[in-house]
Amino acid sequence: MTAVQGTDVDITTEDGTTDAYLAHPADGLPHPGVLLYQDAFGIRPRLKSMADRLAGAGYTVLLPNVFYRSGRTPVVELPEFIDPSADPTIWQRLMPIMMSLTPELSDRDSGAYLDWLAESPLVADGPVGITGYCMGARLAMRTAAAFPDRVAAAGGFHGGRMVTDDADSPHLLAGRVTAELYFGFADQDQSMTEDQIRIFQEALDAAGVRNTCEIYRGAAHGYTQADTTSYSAAADERHWAALLDLLKRAF
């Protein structure tokens, strides 16, 4: 693995300033850009370590605090090991913040993140890759649809609510996507049933989107997050193999 440098950066958006974590190979040269979208628990050591691992594979990785309107990191104080069943107040504190990030706001923000990557001397010219976790999988899909000419590939892992009855359901955006997509769904995830997974993949296929949708058997929502009770080491390593293969094809 390549030596990695990590720094904290600020990004100007239409609505304020996002704090973010930037990880990149320590050689200081431009590398393909990857936008890493957080899960609901936000920027913390686990996500930074994931950004570092991606950077070690040869990418410049931007991890923005998508909840910046509610404060800088940490937006919500969390224990080192997250167990919502032991502390129900975690979701009580997070849910209003999550709900406040509307599709309109997230699309506006994603443009700012892509602009920042495009202007960075550490990022190679051309479209970027995206990876997103839990709610970040929805953001990955939305960004790929909102900026099709700027996204080469997007991965989403243990994403929930990718198919809803809402007019802005992520699966309805398939026709706008030109990137290659990969989604790894957890089979033990009430927020994304197998019927919903089928509908999601049918929408991608009907739109002619290059895609792979896989179900990770025995995995729970949040299977990549080693600092939570949902973690699965086997599913996590499967996710890394799939993500790195996706990015290798794109770049």
- Please give the pLDDT value at position 74: 96
- Active site includes 158? no
Query: Catalytic pick from 134, 158, 227, 239?
Result: 134
- Active site includes 213? no
Structure token digits, residue 50: 């994931």
What pLDDT, in 10s, does the model give residues 82-92?
999 999 899 99
Cα angle value 228/247/52 (rounded, 5°): 45
Domain 4-250 has CATH 3.40.50.1820: yes
Alpha-carbon distance 71 to 74, whole Å? Answer: 8
The DSSP call for residue 87 is: -
- Please give the pLDDT value at position 1: 73
How are beta strands 151-157 and 180-188 bridged, if at all?
parallel
The answer to whether the beta carbons of residues 78 and 92 sit under 8 Å apart is no
Burial class of residue 96 in the structure, from the number of CB atoms within 10 Å of its CB (0-12 exposed, 13-18 middle, 19+ buried): exposed
Structure token digits, residue 178: 């030109």
Query: Catalytic pick from 24, 189, 213, 239?
Result: 189
Reading the chain (251 residues) residue by residue, the pLDDT tens digits are: 789 999 999 999 999 999 999 999 999 999 999 999 999 999 999 999 999 999 999 999 999 999 999 999 999 999 999 999 999 899 999 999 999 999 999 999 999 999 999 999 999 999 999 999 999 999 999 999 999 999 999 999 999 999 999 999 999 999 999 999 999 999 999 999 999 999 999 999 999 999 999 999 999 999 999 999 999 999 999 999 999 999 999 99
Type of residue numbered 43? I
Query: Catalytic pick from 31, 158, 221, 239?
Result: 221
The answer to whether the beta carbons of residues 41 and 228 sit under 8 Å apart is yes
Domain boundaries, the chain: 4-250
- Please give the pLDDT value at position 208: 98
Strand (E) or helix (H) holding 116: helix 103-119
- Active site includes 168? no
- Please give the pLDDT value at position 2: 87
Alpha-carbon distance 152 to 141, whole Å? Answer: 12
Residue 238 CB: number of other CB atoms within 10 A? Answer: 18
- Please give the pLDDT value at position 58: 98
Backbone angles phi, psi at 174, to 5 degrees: -55, -35
**Residues of the chain above pLDDT 90, percent:** 98
